[in-house]
Structure 1
């Protein structure tokens, strides 16, 4: 087994999130045009994939968000050299000097766990703690560890510390059957399987567009991956990868957030650099609630116009192509300011209804029991002081503030900065009065 020298203690870098507040004056009516930032959920595993290559990986249209900053710090810590110029990140993975992901990175960002698979594939070992991130549910990682075990890794868990080691010959391709189409576990299988000996077949793989982007990126690097967009991925192991350049597509969840803002506030907006097909079900539901939507797949644009209060909806979250759990909170926000009764069933993360309590403080009539929420629309909502409980929940409160009378102050917006380049900047581009406090 290739042993990586433990020089990690020399690289104690910390990524600190500033404690911020967002101020939004409502009610507002929106009108404007914005370009959607690169996808957070796509770029993070692509950055981890750079570990697999003993050379240069260049990613463009990379969002300037805290989670990307955290991943850059992780890569630098283990020995990669990252050079960032605006929205372009160049990663030199020639040398990997450390296979341990330090605690202060893991506690900030749950997706750091996918680095384990890349380290196993590259150097045959990796260490991490159980990850942190938003408190939206249990999100067990045992499925991640089972993926690595299927490929021949030995896993040791002790006091929250995870140590994974491959055999002397490295990882070996295998058949992996996921009990749930987990995005993270599918990414883990892809990153660990690319350099494994033989063929890896993943049954029950996640079908999210971000998985498709990762497959495209890996193939650009010289990997052999087939089946993106289906429930079965086939990975033919290769001996090495090559230098590559890849453009990250627009973030469908950020786009969905700003579409929700128009639903809550009324008005119209043009969203550019996002693929409408990746938001098919949310767009259909917005039309059902009263919006006029125009899609342009060729130009990658979405136009939305909303001239009435949103009507009631029934929706249930689930793995793609079902309704995305990351948009459940923004939808709840505009439905709270709508007209009629809506019902939401959360089937992915049991903690996603934490934002409902904050919406109630704004006058929202929301009743939750278990995984179900009933929303009785009322307009306008009441401005006040609320707290961002998680990333998407914080953005949802900004959506609700656009339909509230007066100034809403959203506290603890460090979560929002993890996934949105500048929420206030984008809302101002649509005509809202939004600023950081």
Structure 2
């Protein structure tokens, strides 16, 4: 993030744990190549370059649908961004942007969470407003696990009528399997038939929640950026702690298929990504209570 901004002419320094950035001489176009197609870095650099002087070329840019949506939003405001959805973005700076009305696309990770929830709990969930084209690989994996996935007129329906079959996954930037859905794949594999290998290539700390799943009785062995998951027929309840948004949601779903009452501490993490998670789960028939 900071390297890209510096190449655009920004000055940065650390102050009391914060990164302070300024551009006293303004920003200027540059050629920037990312070491990794980071969504956040691409968003920051793209947004900054929109009002920089000259042309910015961003190589190895992220291609996620939500990033493309941000680019389309900026273009509607008067920005000049070319190459959205490809590894190379060309951004010609403009003097100003104008206000517009824009509706953001549905959150594909939230969609994927509900899709995995149906598969994990052997449920049947209709997800209104979903865009299946944003989740082709995860949905293919759910079909391989035994789910019936159907595109509907206004979204998606996922139904699982049996114990899931284990699925190997390897996380990658879009259009690969999203790292944010990895915890749900591990949760599914923990109660699936068979042994699966889950490889994490994007987020180093994504396996942090595995220790909490082990408290629920899961059979998981982590070796570096690989996790071997052997499914058991039923998890058992225990108090667990959420370390981030997806870990928290994954533990809640694990609690739904565990014997007894599971307490998930750190629900505020879940709130950041799923503001009405408990309420929506209850509407689907789950026994979930929020304890503040």
Residue correspondence of structure 1 range 24-35 to structure 2 within 5 A:
none
Deviation of 1:386 after TM superposition, in Å, equals: 1.2
Deviation of 1:429 after TM superposition, in Å, equals: 2.1
Residue of structure 1 in register with 2:6 after alignment: 149
Instruction: Select which of 239, 246, 250 maps to 2:106.
Output: 250
3-state SS, counterpart of residue 435 of structure 1:
coil
Q: Write the deviation string for residues 129-181 of structure 1: whole angstroms up to 9, x where unpaired.
A: xxxxxxxxxxxxxxx1111111122333466443333243x111111111110
1:192 aligns with 2:48: yes
Residue of structure 2 in register with 1:322 after alignment: 176
CA distance in 1, matches of 2:205, 2:21: 29
CA contact (8 A) 2:245 2:272 kept: yes
3-state SS, counterpart of residue 295 of structure 1:
strand
CA distance in 2, matches of 1:262, 1:162: 41
Q: For residues 321 and 360 of structure 1, do their structure 2 counterparts lie closer, same or farther at Cα, with a shift above 3 Å needed?
A: same
**389-398 or 425-434: which moved more?**
425-434
CA distance in 1, matches of 2:108, 2:190: 22
Deviation of 1:385 after TM superposition, in Å, equals: 1.5
CA distance in 2, matches of 1:350, 1:163: 26
Deviation of 1:416 after TM superposition, in Å, equals: 0.7
CA contact (8 A) 1:221 1:241 kept: yes
Residue of structure 2 in register with 1:280 after alignment: 136
Deviation of 1:300 after TM superposition, in Å, equals: 4.2
Deviation of 1:413 after TM superposition, in Å, equals: 1.0
Instruction: Select which of 388, 396, 411 maps to 2:250.
Output: 396
Residue of structure 1 in register with 2:231 after alignment: 377
| Alignment size in residue pairs | 291
CA distance in 1, matches of 2:154, 2:196: 30
CA contact (8 A) 2:125 2:158 kept: yes
Q: Write the deviation string for residues 48-103 of structure 1: whole angstroms up to 9, x where unpaired.
A: xxxxxxxxxxxxxxxxxxxxxxxxxxxxxxxxxxxxxxxxxxxxxxxxxxxxxxxx
Residue of structure 2 in register with 1:223 after alignment: 79
Deviation of 1:412 after TM superposition, in Å, equals: 1.6
CA contact (8 A) 1:261 1:402 kept: no
Structure 1 length normalisation: TM-score? Answer: 0.65
Residue of structure 2 in register with 1:115 after alignment: none
Residue of structure 2 in register with 1:182 after alignment: 38
Instruction: Select which of 333, 340, 351 maps to 2:194.
Output: 340
Residue of structure 1 in register with 2:278 after alignment: 424
CA contact (8 A) 1:346 1:372 kept: yes
CA contact (8 A) 2:166 2:188 kept: no
CA distance in 1, matches of 2:137, 2:54: 38
CA distance in 1, matches of 2:68, 2:265: 35
1:386 aligns with 2:243: no
3-state SS, counterpart of residue 347 of structure 1:
coil
Q: Write the deviation string for residues 174-229 of structure 1: whole angstroms up to 9, x where unpaired.
A: 11111110111101111110111111111100001111011011112111111111
Residue of structure 1 in register with 2:29 after alignment: 173
Residue of structure 2 in register with 1:357 after alignment: 211
3-state SS, counterpart of residue 273 of structure 2:
coil
CA distance in 1, matches of 2:137, 2:246: 18
Kindly report the root-mean-square deviation, in angstroms, between the aligned alpha carbons of the 2 structures. 1.3
Residue of structure 2 in register with 1:209 after alignment: 65
CA contact (8 A) 1:390 1:415 kept: yes
Residue of structure 1 in register with 2:259 after alignment: 405
Q: Write the deviation string for residues 365-411 of structure 1: whole angstroms up to 9, x where unpaired.
A: 11111111011101111122111121100000111112111221111
Residue of structure 1 in register with 2:94 after alignment: 238
